[in-house]
Amino acid sequence: MASEKPIVAVTCTAPVNIAVIKYWGKRDEELILPINSSLSVTLHQDQLKTTTTAAISKDFAEDRIWLNGQEEDVGQPRLQACLREIRRLARKRRSSGDEDPLPLSVSYKVHVASVNNFPTAAGLASSAAGYACLAYALARVYGVESDLSEVARRGSGSACRSLHGGFVEWQMGERADGKDSVARQVAPELHWPELRVLILVVSAEKKLMGSTVGMQTSVETSPLLRFRAKAVVPARMAEMTRCIKERDFQGFGQLTMKDSNQFHATCLDTFPPISYLSDTSRRIIHLVHRFNAHHGQTKVAYTFDAGPNAVIFTLDNTVAEFVAALRHSFPPESNGDKFLKGLPVRPAPLSDELKAALGMDPTPGGVKYIIATQVGPGPQILDDPHAHLLGPDGLPKPAV
Ligand code: DP6
């Protein structure tokens, strides 16, 4: 028999993902089942990640959660759905009989602490990494080994795609109970090593309309969204998978831009209309198309989620020149040295021809900063006990 420890704690990290075929619209609000499949790229955790510690103990009186150091309401329905689901899976495993009878840990209350290594206020998709990390940490601490798609999905739909590294599809599934609505890896992390990702942080403001309410209104009112889900996305999923498997950047980039544009078109087709793009977002779109036209091929592609920040895909041999074009079009206002974060980018000259081809007046400060990153792995367990965000008393360690 293992000796009973007062506290069992696990700490994990999980990545952010960016969809290149967008999820927008649910067919079941409670189970979070989508109206179409989607496909994403997992970003590297060296630049963007959530870290979560989950700890259980028979001495805990109630479930509790702290996000970025602040205690939050553990009663919120999506969090409750995740906790219920993980405990159901844990019980199922115990009762299947293939396990040593474990301590009564399924009935133990859990304490959770979670932090992001990037500003939540930057408007980057933090809920996907957050719920994927929660699902992963809860699974480890309660001894669950089954597919975690459902647990993460019940927190936030896009979170199930953050359970894997590389390139990931969320198959919409057909069943009413959602058992076949799962995330699967399409290609592993190291499949396309030249691919690079630039996050252009345009605005740090909180968005006007969250994705959950936004997509609900779109489902209710947009005929274009219905058409997209039925008639457009299935073929795009197949085509995007092919582009990724063959490392066809032209095809990948064009389809990524078209799908982002169609998602934003469905937002405008929603009534009352939703607009997530800002003037700067539109300037970035313009810049990308001018840049590609100058080169006579798709060298750079943009995608936008439910906010004005752009995510750019390109290949390693184009990063330096495109960043120079960005610096030219959006001269950094005050923080010139902090304009570029993440992977190093060497300075590159901008030819007069390209400058002329871009044909836009510079907008100082339009892009606040850039995070350069690449494709990365799925959730990880941190073995070092020093990594725990909760102390031996089950409460958040004071920030150092
Ligand atoms: C535009 O996963 O945040 O980023 O399931 O209601 O939590 P909920 O929505 P969420 O929506 C993401 C929408 C998107 C596109 C995408 O990531 O596929």
Q: What is the pLDDT of residues 322-364, one digit of tens each?
A: 999 999 999 998 766 789 999 999 999 999 999 999 988 999 9
Q: Give per-residue pLDDT as tens, 169-217.
A: 999 999 999 999 999 999 999 999 999 999 999 976 666 788 999 999 9
Q: Give pLDDT tens digits for 292-308.
A: 999 999 999 999 999 99
Question: For the ranges 5-9, 59-63, 198-202, 369-373, which has the lowest average pLDDT?
Answer: 5-9
Which residue's alpha carbon is at the smallest distance from atom 7 of ligand 1?
A: 156
Cα dihedral 300, 304, 310, 314 in deg (nearest 10)? -20
**Closest C-alpha among 105, 89, 12, 2 to residue 54:** 12
What is the per-residue pLDDT for 92? 86
> What pLDDT is recorded for position 388?
97
Mutate to test the pocket of ligand 1, among 17, 18, 20, 23 (most ligand atoms within 8 A of CB): 23
- 211 alpha carbon to ligand 1 midpoint, in Å? 6
pLDDT mean over 143-157 = 96
Residue with tokens 């999905």: 153
What's the 220 CA to ligand 1 centre distance in angstroms? 17
Among residues 197, 211, 147, which one has the least CA distance to residue 41?
A: 197
Give the distance (Å) from ligand 1 centre to CA of residue 329. 30
- Which is more confidently placed, 120 or 281? 281
Query: What is the mean predicted confidence (pLDDT) over 285-289?
Result: 98
* Ligand 1 nearest-atom number relative to CA 153: 5
Whole-angstrom distance, CA of residue 17 vs CA of residue 129: 7
pLDDT in tens, 60-85: 999 999 999 999 999 999 999 999 99
Cα(23) to centroid of ligand 1, in Å?
Answer: 6
Residue 1's pLDDT is 42
Numbers of helices and strands, H then E, in the chain: 10, 17
pLDDT greater at residue 96 or residue 322? 322
Q: What is the pLDDT of residue 335?
A: 61
pLDDT at 255 (0 to 100): 99
Cα 279 to Cα 9: distance, rounded to the nearest angstrom: 46
The residue nearest atom 11 of ligand 1, judged by CA position, is 211
**227-231, 234-238, 304-308: least confidently modelled range:** 304-308
Contact yes or no for 144/155 (Cβ under 8 A): no
The amino acid at residue 385 is: P
pLDDT of 122 above 60: no
Q: Name the more confident of 335 and 39.
A: 39
Residue type, 365: G
Distances (CA, A) of 233 to 19, 241, 270: 13, 12, 18
Distance in Å, CA 19 to ligand 1 centroid:
9
Confidence of residue 104 (pLDDT cuts 50, 70, 90): low
State the first-to-last Cα distance of the chain, in angstroms, to the nearest integer: 37
**pLDDT reported for residue 338:** 87
d(CA 191, ligand 1 centre) in Å: 25
CA distance 302 to 325: 14
Is-contact 304 331, C-beta < 8 A?
no
Ordered DSSP codes for 204-256: -SPPSS-HHHHHHHHHHH-HHHHHIIIIIHHHHHHHHHHHHHTT-HHHHHHHH
From the CB of residue 336, how many other CB atoms can be counted at a distance below 10 Å?
10
Distance between Cα 347 and ligand 1 center (Å): 35
pLDDT at 380 over 60: yes
User: Residues enclosing ligand 1, CB less than 6 A?
Assistant: 19, 22-24, 32, 38, 125, 127, 156-158, 211-212, 305-306
Instruction: Describe the strand order of the beta sheet including 17-21 as a list of residue ranges.
Output: 17-21, 38-42, 167-170, 183-187
Identify the pLDDT of residue 102.
53
Contact partners, residue 365, CB within 8 Å, separation at least 6: 330, 331, 332, 333
Helix, strand or coil for residue 321? helix
Q: Ligand 1, from 39, 124, 163, 211: best to mutate by most atoms within 8 Å of Cβ?
A: 211
Gap from CA of 158 to ligand 1 centroid (Å): 5
**Which atom of ligand 1 is found nearest the CA of 158?**
2
Q: Examine the pLDDT at 22 and tell me if it is beyond 90.
A: yes
How far is residue 200's CA from residue 189's CA, in Å, rounded to a whole number?
22
Say yes or no to pLDDT of 2 above 50. no
CB 45 within 8 A of CB 13: yes
pLDDT exceeds cutoff 60 at 103? no
* Statement: residue 370 has pLDDT above 80: yes
Least confident of 114-118, 155-159, 214-218: 114-118
| Ligand 1 mutation target, pool 82, 131, 156, 158, most atoms within 8 A of CB | 158
Residue 105 has a pLDDT of 85
Give percent helix, percent strand, percent coil of the chain, each to the nearest 5. 40, 20, 40
Atom of ligand 1 at shortest distance to CA of 22?
18
Residues ≥6 apart with Cβ < 8 Å to 248: 242
